[in-house]
């Protein structure tokens, strides 16, 4: 049986390490502060934000969630971000994506002050990542690295293949793995013979956003498979097909009306991988933990500068 890389344990380790750092900041004057902007109605984003707020409460981080109307204009949202940039009690500003369609997302993300950009998306912080300089890192890729390291999985000298080239996961994950001395290939929809390229991977990162797309033909026997996908199946027929008529998954669907699945086929990965991340219970948990880590680090940098 392959090894399951449990995100719960790694998340709990990271949060436990952050608690004394939060307490130390609070003892010096105030705890770290995180502001989350959630514009529009997006169920997955709302769940994610609730998880962030819960983690802040557990750590003693001050959190504030701002929920402007989904009709908000770009200029109004820019003004809101600027107010958060100016607040002394806020160390991190996170604008939850996706934003409503009328909003210029790039302008909004660029408006967040680099020192408060706890998502690690601002070009200044992307540049620091490229140059291997200290700074906030994109949370999901940073979580992948922590998951691998804290499970004792070798990265140096390994062949890593990433399926997906997004600015949020694929590109920063490639850079972080490169800094850990892996040989990295980024794949996407125009990569010829994608299964053959993926089969070269010792570490395969699936971040394509398509339910169970990465089947057994993509996975080298014994590879470490990191599944970043979080796809909701709303069809019982799809659940039956992807999970091979699993009574457990069908019962979950009948109770909840949906089932989560990653970008990797959940049956094939057990047959082929040497280690893999489950969905749920894998990378997603680390995304929130790394956001907390970025927020605490931002507060420490600001406190040191005072």
Distance, CA of 290 to CA of 270 (rounded, Å): 27
Q: Are 190 and 164 in contact (CB under 8 A)?
A: no
Q: Looking at the structure, do residues 76 and 183 belong to the same domain, yes or no?
A: no
CATH code, domain with 166: 3.40.50.720
Answer yes or no: is pLDDT of 299 > 90.
yes
Catalytic, out of 91, 117, 119, 263? 119
| pLDDT at position 74 | 97
Q: Is the residue at 13 inside a domain?
A: no
Answer yes or no: is pLDDT of 198 > 90.
yes
CATH code, domain with 83: 3.40.50.10860
| pLDDT at position 41 | 74
Q: Is the residue at 98 inside a domain?
A: yes
Distance, CA of 264 to CA of 206 (rounded, Å): 7
Catalytic, out of 96, 116, 158, 265? 96
Neighbouring CB atoms inside 10 A of 110's CB total 16
**Residue range 12-35: mean pLDDT, rounded:** 97
Answer yes or no: is pLDDT of 44 > 80.
no
| 81: containing domain | 29-115
Q: Is the residue at 20 inside a domain?
A: no
User: Which string of DSSP letters, residue by residue, matches the chain?
Assistant: -PEE--HHHHHHHHHHHHHHHHHHHHHHT---EEEEE--S--HHHHHHHHHHHHHHHHHT-EEEEE---TT--HHHHHHHHHHHHH-TT--EEEEPSSPPTTS-HHHHHHHS-GGGBTT--SHHHHHHHHTT-SS---HHHHHHHHHHHHTT---TT-EEEEE---TTTHHHHHHHHHHTT-EEEEE-TT-TTHHHHHTT-SEEEE-S--TT-B-GGG--TT-EEEE---EEE--HHHHHHHTTT-HHHHHHHHHHS-EEE-SB-TTHHHHH-SEE--SSSSHHHHHHHHHHHHHHHHHHHHHHH-
Model confidence band, residue 278 (pLDDT cutoffs 50, 70, 90): very high
Q: Is the residue at 51 inside a domain?
A: yes
Distance, CA of 172 to CA of 170 (rounded, Å): 6
Q: Looking at the structure, do residues 146 and 202 belong to the same domain, yes or no?
A: yes
| pLDDT at position 87 | 97
How many domains are there within the chain?
Answer: 2
Q: Looking at the structure, do residues 147 and 88 belong to the same domain, yes or no?
A: no
| pLDDT at position 195 | 98
Q: What percent of the chain has pLDDT over 70?
A: 99
Distance, CA of 65 to CA of 155 (rounded, Å): 37
Q: Looking at the structure, do residues 54 and 188 belong to the same domain, yes or no?
A: no
**Residue range 29-34: mean pLDDT, rounded:** 96
* pLDDT tens-digit readout, 130-167: 999 999 999 999 999 999 999 999 999 999 999 999 99
Is 102 part of the annotated catalytic residue set? no
Model confidence band, residue 47 (pLDDT cutoffs 50, 70, 90): confident
Q: Looking at the structure, do residues 152 and 85 belong to the same domain, yes or no?
A: no
Q: Which residue in this structure is represented by tokens 């204009």? A: 73
Catalytic, out of 52, 158, 171, 220? 52
Is 89 part of the annotated catalytic residue set? no
Answer yes or no: is pLDDT of 49 > 90.
no
CA angle, residues 251, 252, 253, in degrees to nearest 5 = 90
Q: Looking at the structure, do residues 180 and 225 belong to the same domain, yes or no?
A: yes
Is 104 part of the annotated catalytic residue set? no
Read off the tokens for 195. Answer: 């299964």
**Residue range 253-267: mean pLDDT, rounded:** 97
Q: Is the residue at 18 inside a domain?
A: no
**Residue range 117-142: mean pLDDT, rounded:** 96
């Amino acid at each position: 049986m392959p090894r399951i890389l449990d995100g719960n344990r790694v998340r709990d380790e990271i949060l436990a390490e952050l608690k004394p750092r939060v307490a130390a900041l609070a003892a010096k004057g105030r705890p770290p502060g995180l502001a989350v902007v959630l514009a529009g109605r997006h169920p997955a984003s709302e769940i994610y934000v609730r998880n962030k707020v819960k983690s802040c409460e557990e750590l003693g981080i001050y959190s504030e969630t701002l929920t402007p109307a989904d009709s908000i204009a770009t200029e109004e949202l820019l003004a809101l971000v600027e107010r958060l940039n100016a607040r002394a009690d806020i160390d991190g500003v996170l604008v939850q994506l996706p934003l409503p369609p009328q909003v210029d997302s790039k302008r909004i993300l660029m408006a967040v002050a680099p020192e408060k950009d706890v998502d690690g998306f601002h070009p200044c912080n992307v540049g620091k990542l490229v140059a291997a300089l200290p700074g906030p890192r994109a949370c999901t890729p940073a979580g992948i690295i922590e998951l691998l390291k804290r499970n004792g999985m070798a990265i140096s000298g390994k062949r890593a293949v990433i399926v997906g080239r997004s600015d949020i996961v694929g590109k920063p994950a490639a850079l972080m793995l490169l800094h850990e001395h892996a040989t990295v290939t980024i794949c996407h929809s125009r990569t010829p013979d994608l299964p053959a390229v993926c089969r070269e991977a010792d570490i395969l990162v699936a971040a394509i956003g398509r339910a169970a797309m990465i089947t057994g033909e993509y996975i080298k026997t014994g590879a470490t498979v990191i599944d970043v996908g979080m796809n909701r199946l709303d069809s019982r027929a799809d659940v039956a097909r992807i999970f091979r008529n699993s009574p457990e998954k069908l019962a979950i669907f009948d109770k909840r009306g949906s089932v989560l699945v990653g970008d990797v086929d959940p049956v094939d990965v057990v047959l082929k991988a040497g280690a893999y991340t489950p969905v749920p219970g894998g990378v997603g948990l680390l995304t929130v933990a790394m956001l907390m880590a970025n927020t605490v680090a931002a507060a420490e940098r600001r406190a040191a500068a005072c």
